[in-house]
A and B are shown apart, each in its own frame.
Chain A
Amino acid sequence: QQQVKQSPQSLIVQKGGIPIINCAYENTAFDYFPWYQQFPGKGPALLIAIRPDVSEKKEGRFTISFNKSAKQFSLHIMDSQPGDSATYFCAARERGQNFVFGPGTRLSVLP
């Protein structure tokens, strides 16, 4: 119940495309859902985060869509660029507990 499932494992899109990464969870007590971006050999960097009382959040070209009833949330990258090529992790946290991370999605944006 503490797992966060993430798909796909890897994703290849053309420049300008809209990659979508999906995450699903079971624990309804999760109350905070961040996404992290990690470049090879670097630490993950916080990209965008959402709470379950909001269905969508946008920051620049990155959008989180949240479906509380389905217990799913997804990351959309608008007008993707080769510089967006990285591994993306979703995570979830229940207040008072540690974060649970998805296994990651490796995104490649072709020029």
Chain B
Amino acid sequence: DGGITQSPKYLFRKEGQNVTLSCEQNLNHDAMYWYRQDPGQGLRLIYYSQIVNDFQKGDIAEGYSVSREKKESFPLTVTSAQKNPTAFYLCASSIGRQGSGTQYFGPGTRLLVL
């Protein structure tokens, strides 16, 4: 059963703590993306990766970091530098490189600050 999985579904962060959100896809897609969604707002791009070992900053990359060591995995770390991390985080992937395919989304991770 192909798709995108994100874990955990809910994540709690203490002040000063770094947390990592997992995103895995078995669709054999080249490109992967991380978006942030705030209540009543659209999707804002955090980071994207077109190929293994390469990634670029999106519109709101400050306070976040990523890695792309494997084609199927694109974890996002929310660092302590991100002062307002409470949001719904969505991972997506597309079959081709940037701009060449429809994006498919995972189920999301809700991050809450304690």
Contact = CB atoms under 8 A, between A and B. Distances in A.
B90 A96 contact: no
Interface stretch (A14-22, A37-45, A70-78): A37-45
Contact of B42 (A43, A89, A93): A89
B84 interface: no
A43 B107 contact: yes
**Size class of B's contact patch?**
20 to 34
Given A98-B98, A98-B99, A43 B43 contact: no
B53 interface: no
Nearest to A49: B102
A43 B17 CA distance: 26
Interface size class of A (residues with CB under 8 A): 20 to 34
Nearest to A96: B99
Contacts of B43: 44, 89, 101
A9 B41 CA distance: 10
A97 interface: yes
Given A43-B107, A97-B98, A98-B48, A104 B90 contact: no
Nearest to B45: A98
A49 B104 CA distance: 13
Interface string B57-95: 010000000000000000000000000000000101000
A33 to B, nearest CB: 11
A42 B104 CA distance: 12
23 contacts: A34-B102, A41-B110, A42-B107, A42-B108, A43-B6, A43-B107, A43-B108, A44-B43, A45-B105, A46-B103, A49-B102, A89-B42, A95-B99, A97-B98, A97-B99, A98-B45, A98-B58, A98-B98, A98-B99, A101-B42, A101-B43, A103-B41, A104-B42
Interface of A: 9, 32, 34, 36, 41-46, 49, 89, 93-99, 101-104
